[in-house]
Every structure is written in structure tokens, then in C-alpha cells.
Structure 1
Amino acid sequence: MTATTQHITPELRTWIIAQAQAGQPAEAVLKAMKASGWNEDVAIEAMESTLRGHLEQQAAANGLPPAVAVPEPGVAESPLYLDAGDRRVTVLQTMNNPRVVVFGDLLSDEECDELIGLARPRLARSLTVATKTGGEEVNDDRTSNGMFFQRGENPLVTRIEARLARLVNWPVENGEGLQILQYRPGAEYKPHYDYFDPVEPGTPTILKRGGQRVATIVMYLSEPEKGGGTTFPDVQLEVAPKRGHAVFFSYERPHPSTRTLHGGAPVIAGEKWIATKWLRERRFE
């Protein structure tokens, strides 16, 4: 039986779901299928499509919002480097659930310094989205100073936005403006989700500008002496704020099941600067 004559049958899908429910790892299921004569490409497609459909059915049965397409760096084949157009970026760490990728050398030292220099005169107390109204508000959970660049505001921002779009395979126009944040000793951002909660009354107003947020990129512009890491409490992960590096994470539905609860740990000593890019489903206006 050749790959062109192999068909993914309902019986095969039932078997794949049964293996997943029994706790069999994907590698073992794939190995068993290949041993039974299945072409590897067909077997992988059968597993991915079957499990994706099964998870969506389970999500709908439990009242979860439907999943949407999200940005995705090209890390399926475990590359050490990714081509970001004008820069080669290192892949330092990946995680599937939650979907987290840590990048090295995303920004140069000169770019970090220039972003800080351009942002410093425009800093103000950081605001958060007011989900009850769709506006903005001061939030005691976020004790940083910050500012926003408009998308494409200057050549530096334009260059970085193009690099990010290529790196995570998502259109430039679907990104919010680049936000620069300064955290002094004691400043933090307590654990939160970046998506907009569908049950909040202000969410429909927020979504009109480009749909739901689907991914976040946090880029580190400076290194505090102690503290200041990006934490993911659900999976006990902390990403160190290494200058020029970045952490990417995506969330296919606005729900805690994505395990993307995250925060900025308090800076203990020194000062932390970051650049944050939020990505939307559609063009952000």
C-alpha cells in the first residue's frame, strides 16, 4: 500500500483517540502506525487532524470558546536558528502546552539602547485595558512606567516589526503598537492573561479594533541585577530577562485552558526594560 492509496478511515481515527486517552505518547503512536505499514507523512497528518478535531469537540462540550489560528514560529523540525529576514535568531527553548518559544539575539545591543533612548522622554505610569468599559485604567497589579510607539512610527520600529512578523509568521498589520516598559526595583506585573475575557462588558468594544489577542512577544532591552523574570505559574516556568532575548507565547482561545497565565516578577535590584508586542486575529486599527 503506497502513500497515495492510504486513506484515513473512521476506524483509524477512533484508534488514535483511544491511544491518546490511554496516555500513549505521540512518538509511540506514530511508531506503531509505521510498523503497521502507514506512510509517515500520512500517519502524522492522521494524528494531527484527528486529535485537533477531538480536542475541539471536547472543548465545545465543556463550553470553551472555539480555537482560532495563531502565530507560529517555524520550530516543528527543532531548528537551532530561524531566519527573521534581516537577522538570524536563535531558538533557545520551546514548550507545547502552553505554546512558548524563547528566542536568543532577537535584538542587537544597539537596538535595545535606541528603543530605551527614544522611549524614556515619553514614559508615564503604565495602564491596562479596562475590560468593563473598553478603555484604559491604572491597575495596582502593574507598577511599571511605559509608552507606546505607533506601528511603523520610525525606521527602527518598522524594522523590528518586520522581523517579528517573519519570525512568527503573522502579518505586521495584525500587531498592536510596540510598548516599551521600565521596571525599577520593586516594580512588577502580577500574573494575568493577555487575551480579553469574553464575559467582560467592555470586550466587544475592544475586539472591534482587530479581534482577540492571540499571541505575545516580550523582548528584553536591559538586564536587572536580580529578579524581573517572566513567569508562567501554571507550568512553573520562569524566563530570565536576558538583554536582546525574547519570549513568545500564543493562546488559541480566550480561556485559562491555554495555560498562558504569566507575569513579570518583581525587580529585586537594578532596572528592567522590555518591549512588548501583542498580536491580534485581524488587522489592528
Structure 2
Amino acid sequence: MPAPNTPSKTSQVITRELHAWIAAERAQGHGHDTILQAMLYAGWEHQVAAEALTSTPPPPLPVPWPELASSHMRLDGGDRLVELTTVMREPDIIVFENLLSAGECEALIEAARPRLHRSLTVSVETGGEEVHKDRTSEGMFFTRGENALTQRIEARIARLLEWPIENGEGLQVLRYRPGTEYKPHYDYFDPAEPGTPAILERGGQRVATLIMYLQEPESGGATVFPDVRLQVVPKRGHAVFFNYSQPHRCSQSLHGGMPVLAGEKWIATKWLRESVFT
């Protein structure tokens, strides 16, 4: 299907019609580069075409979300009742209380401590990993189901969020010392980046994040959601969960870890994919 009628180069405007055309092309399986080239061939300026692609949200994906129909604010995690302290919709954010016991928090820290190294981020250009100036923590990954402790926690998360265990990445444990932080970012993989197709081969898009607080710092270290002006104070055993049905800024899933001012903050992060993660 050809691109919509192209206005003159001096009056090119991104219209609802153009957004609809891009969405239809994506639905037919055409990738970012293919659509961009079609627009350039039709006469669209590169800058306008690129902005139109960036500003058109992809179709929504199914996302994890717990059953909240009951009147009380407790959920059955199988081996543990978990309380809810905050529930937000659009964007979807939940704060869980006592998701982990104090013993589980300490056991995760001690198992992770010998394996810590400078935290890496996913490189959206290559599909690999890289050190990034915005992330200054230390961290490590457990493989999914690596030991009895992680198996128990993963089963609890799967039951709470009604999402298959096999669709989850392994738990990542992070330590933030004073002065360290993770500046606001998105957890999904940008469809426009060249390394994204290789990343998606392992389980599709990330569709949700669960951040569990293993140790609270003396000061600082809140998880911040700038789009909705929300800060979640880290408290041992508690967790914050949020999903993002579209890998796009319209998901309002921008979040970050504010600098730790005193003490150490330890967290465990669980990322959930749209399909089986390998």
C-alpha cells in the first residue's frame, strides 16, 4: 500500500491519516526500515517520516495484571498472602506489601553478593550489553529457576500476576551504594533501534517490571515515575509492579532509581516478556 498523499516539502504535517497508515503497515508485518523507505520514496522528508514513525504507537500487547475483583486488598501468592498498598490504572502501577519475607531478602542478598559486577544495560544498537553512564549500580543475574529460593519467588510472582513462569527473565539483584542511581528510562525495547529484532528473538517484548526491595537505604533511593509524579519509597520486602502494553512513551512507564544518599539499597528486578524467554 503506498504512503498517504504527500504534501509539498514546505508543508509536510504528521496527520491522523499518516499515523493510521503506519499502524496498518506494522500490522502487516513491515518493519521500521521498510516503512521509512516507503515514505521516503513517496516524497516525505526524512525528518518528518522519522518523527511520524516515532510518534505512532505500536498495537497494544497483552500484559500481566492481577485479579483485583475481591473487595479486600490481599492477593494469594500460593505460599504467602500479599497486601496491596497502592493501585493505579492508566498507567498500571501496584505497590505490594510484604511480597518477600525478611529471610528471603537476606538470602537473595547473600547469594548475589559474591557475583556482583558493574551493572550493564541492553544495547539497543547491537542487541548485546554495555556499561552506561546512567546506571551506576552493581548487579548480577540468577538464571530462571536456578535454586530453590528463586523457584519459590518466581512461582509466587507468576501466581500473583497471572503470567507464566517461563515468560519471565531470571531475577536480577542490584546494589546501590551512596551516590549511585539509575536515571529515568524505559524497560521495553525500542522497535526503531537496529538491535531490537535480535533481542526480541529470546521472548518478544518486555511487557512488565517488578522491582522488589531487599534492603532499604538510610536515605534516598526512591523509585520515581516522572510522567505521573509518583515516588515509591523502598521498604524491605515490598515491591512495585508496572506494565506497558506498548513499547512507546505513551505507556507512561518512564521510571528511575533516585540517588542513594546514605546506606545501601538492594533490589531484585523481574522482567516479564510477552512469550517464552529462552
TM-score normalised by length of structure 1: 0.78
Deviation at residue 97 of structure 1 after TM alignment: 1.6
**More helix by proportion, 1 or 2?**
1
Which residue of the other structure, out of 241, 245, 248, is the alignment partner of 2:238? 245
In structure 1, distance between residues paired with 2:127 and 2:205: 13
Q: Residue 166 of structure 2 aligns with which residue?
A: 173
2:60 is the counterpart of 1:67: yes
Identical aligned residues as a percent: 66
Residues 226-253 of structure 1, C-alpha deviations (whole Å, 9 max, x = no match): 1101000011000010000000000001
In structure 1, distance between residues paired with 2:150 and 2:205: 23
Q: Residue 276 of structure 1 aligns with which residue?
A: 269
Deviation at residue 60 of structure 1 after TM alignment: 4.6
2:119 is the counterpart of 1:122: no
Residue type matched to 2:220 in 1? G
Deviation at residue 73 of structure 1 after TM alignment: 1.2
Aligned 1:1-285 pairs, distance under 5 A: 60=23, 63-77=56-70, 79-285=72-278
State how many pairs are aligned.
230
Q: Residue 11 of structure 1 aligns with which residue?
A: none
Structure 1, unpaired ranges of 5+: 1-56
In structure 1, distance between residues paired with 2:163 and 2:264: 31
Report the 3-state secondary structure (helix = DSSP H, G, I; strand = E; otherwise coil) of the residue aligned with 1:163.
Answer: helix
Cα contact 1:79–1:91 (8 A) shared by 2 = no
Deviation at residue 75 of structure 1 after TM alignment: 1.9
Q: Which runs of 4+ in 1 moved over 4 A?
A: 59-62
Residues 99-121 of structure 1, C-alpha deviations (whole Å, 9 max, x = no match): 00000000000000000000000
Cα contact 1:222–1:242 (8 A) shared by 2 = yes
Cα contact 1:131–1:202 (8 A) shared by 2 = yes
Residue type matched to 2:210 in 1? I
Q: Residue 18 of structure 1 aligns with which residue?
A: none
Deviation at residue 74 of structure 1 after TM alignment: 1.4
Superposition CA RMSD, Å: 1.7
TM-score normalised by length of structure 2: 0.80
